[in-house]
Chain A
Amino acid sequence: MQQQGQAVVAASLAPASATHQREDARGDAPPKQVAQAMERLGRAGRLIADIRLGADRLLEALFVAGDAPPHSALQHVERTALAVVQEETAMHRHFDDLRALGRQLEESGVLNGALKARGNSWGLHMPLVCPDGAVVAYAWKRQLAGQAGASAVDRTRLALKAFTDQKRRFFPHLDDEGLSHLPDGESENEVPNMKIFTYRRLDWSKRAASLASLMNDDFVDPSKELNQQIMSKMRSGHETTAMDQVAIIELLVPSIFRAIVSLHPAGSTDPDAVAFFSPTEGGAYLHARGQSVHHVFKHVTEHADKALQYFVNVEPSKALSLLLRWVASYQTLFTKVCSKCRRLLLMDKSLALLLPPVQRPYHQTSSVGSDPQDAYHIGCSSFDV
């Protein structure tokens, strides 16, 4: 039957294959390229539908033959064989047409190697993940529109890069000193218990997700967490993360809190968001604009927002170091009594919650020296809440 089929195919050589137009796609204006590509893809879609139908018919024929009552089996088999042969011819034709179309699409740049390698290469139904992590439903549409798989994030980053390059080139005196001086004057001396880590934005999402699985393990060993952290940093190869890519700072005081500060733009010293979490929390919601599931940390974050705004508006050049130092003062969150009522836990009447002093003053923190770190309950603070 196979040989018959092949013979039939050889005989009916009329390939209704797509036009052999080898027009130079590059020479045409983009709108025409788009129109052509759209039309070709439409044809490809129809061919694929035809192929599916053909496959269905083949299966149907086989089932019918298989189910045939014994007395008429021979007739059925003969009929089936004929149907199969016809279908096979048609299928071969469809596949040839499809191949030709595919070649044309490749040449015009619609289908590229990355898409093909993915198996489900037409991108017609499956979402595509762009290099920057954005998920795109129809990659080919973007490609046709000249964006070549770029998402909004990619385009923004390219624009920002161009801007930063030009700024560096034409206005060198405006260059920020960057984060390099940060660890020196900073917390390592003043706050030995706090650990500071830096990340690129995507690296942080991976870490947040890994924290979720770490915390769900009943047998978690907390020292493992730190080890894993160090291991992953070593593996990824950037010892201190290229300074111009740092977008997230994690401040961890073990067993007390984990604070996430986001920098915008990446590589700058301008914080734009901060959030506090329990060290036991993990998951995709763990980021500088996320919210802890615990009331205490929710309220600390709320207060931290105000502190951040204050630092950024009043002392923009030192905002980050002031913020980090201020965050470090929360080490005493669960031990320091309120400076006004001298209690640790207090029932906040309006919130109906028992909370420790979640507010620490952020005014006048630029003064050097032993400024006693005060702490206040929400209802106890003297300044604007």
Chain B
Amino acid sequence: MPPVKWLMHWHPNPGATLNSQILAEASGCAESLGGSKDGRWKTSIIFYRAMARDGASAGAGGAPPQQPPDVPRELLGVALHERPGLYFSILRSHRLVLQADAAFPQVMEKLQSYKARVTLNFEGFQYQLGDFCLRIGKCVPNNSETLRGIMMEVEYYPLSSIEKSRAVMEDFFDIWQETLAKKSLPGHFIHVESNFSEYGLSDHYSFQHTAVQYATCLQQLMAAVTVRG
């Protein structure tokens, strides 16, 4: 049973830009709280777009291609750092999260039903703070260095129940904000609650919960980019 985890993303002040300075300061705060750096982490998200069927059946010369109306246009694939053998696919429109094998992207490649459009990597360092684990990372597209976002994972090892750990996680978040506020950075971290019950997930934390949190986080990040851009 994986321990509970909260995802937070950096929300820049209006007009402020993202830069790696923020990342460095956040890492410094983790260390000032007694955190010891103990490795790197990387989670990847692939945006899939539904393909129209015309490409595959061109030779058949049959009726014009029809896209069934209820096929979701968009699919998210999540490869979590803590479980390299698994892959999670999320249909936000249908509130579905599924666990699959790590070969999922190759299968999708062959099926050609959905095509990978964008791959985003969340990567950075991780810090152990007693019973907490902090992962602070930047969000960059796969073949680029452009910083798209900054986010962090906070994990609390002793507990797996979301409700029972809420007070502790909120308290940690407050302490984190206090510590970071001393650096006067142009923005702050936000934790946005994901609606786990909509996805059929229970109070006991699981990798599916993490995948859903990433989807939520991504939504927030994209919204922030749109506003700025």
* Chain A residues near B (Cβ < 8 Å): 215, 218, 220, 222, 255-256, 278-280, 292-297, 334-335, 343-345, 347, 351-356
Contacts and interface: CB of A to CB of B under 8 A. Distances in A.
A8 B160 CA distance: 75
13 contacts: A222-B1, A222-B204, A255-B164, A279-B160, A280-B3, A280-B158, A292-B158, A294-B131, A295-B131, A297-B158, A343-B171, A344-B168, A354-B34
A104 to B, nearest CB: 58
B49 to A, nearest CB: 30
Among B33, B165, B171, which residue has the most Cβ atoms of chain A within 10 A?
B171
A31 B130 CA distance: 60
Contacts of B220: none
B158 A278 contact: yes
Contacts of A354: 33-34, 129-132, 172, 175
Interface in B170-210: 171-172, 175, 203-204, 206-207
Interface in B3-47: 3, 33-34
Interface residues of B, number: 25
B159 interface: yes
Contacts, number: 71
B89 to A, nearest CB: 17
Contacts of A351: 130
A308 to B, nearest CB: 22
B175 A353 contact: no
A356 B34 contact: no
A292 B159 CA distance: 13
Given A280-B1, A295-B130, A255 B33 contact: no
Nearest to A253: B164
A278 B167 CA distance: 17
**From B3, B34, B131, residue with most partner A Cβ within 10 Å:** B131
Contacts of A220: 1
A357 to B, nearest CB: 11
Contact of A215 (B1, B159, B165, B203): B1
Contacts of A343: 171
Contacts of B175: 345, 347, 354
B75 to A, nearest CB: 23
A353 B131 contact: yes
B83 to A, nearest CB: 8
A255 B166 CA distance: 12
Interface of B: 1, 3, 33-34, 129-132, 157-161, 163-165, 167-168, 171-172, 175, 203-204, 206-207
A185 B172 CA distance: 38
Given A296-B158, A344-B167, A355-B130, 17 more contacts: A220-B1, A222-B1, A255-B160, A255-B164, A256-B164, A278-B157, A280-B1, A280-B159, A292-B158, A293-B157, A297-B158, A334-B159, A334-B164, A335-B164, A344-B171, A347-B175, A356-B168
Given A218-B207, A280-B1, A352 B130 contact: yes
A294 B156 CA distance: 10
A226 B130 CA distance: 30
Nearest to B165: A334
Given A215-B1, A220-B1, A297-B158, A347 B34 contact: yes
A333 to B, nearest CB: 9
A356 B157 CA distance: 14
Contacts of A334: 159, 164-165, 167-168
Contacts of A280: 1, 3, 158-160
Contacts of B203: 255
A77 B57 CA distance: 73
Q: Which 10 A-B pairs have the closest CB atoms?
A: A255-B161, A353-B130, A352-B34, A294-B158, A345-B171, A344-B171, A278-B158, A255-B164, A335-B167, A295-B130
Given A278-B158, A280-B160, A296-B158, A347 B33 contact: yes
A356 to B, nearest CB: 6
A273 to B, nearest CB: 21
Nearest to A217: B1
A162 to B, nearest CB: 45
Given A354-B175, A355-B130, A294 B157 contact: yes
From B1, B34, B130, B175, name the one whose CB has the most chain A CB atoms within 10 angstroms.
Answer: B1
Contacts of A256: 159, 161, 164
Contacts of B165: 334
A296 B171 contact: no
Contacts of B3: 280
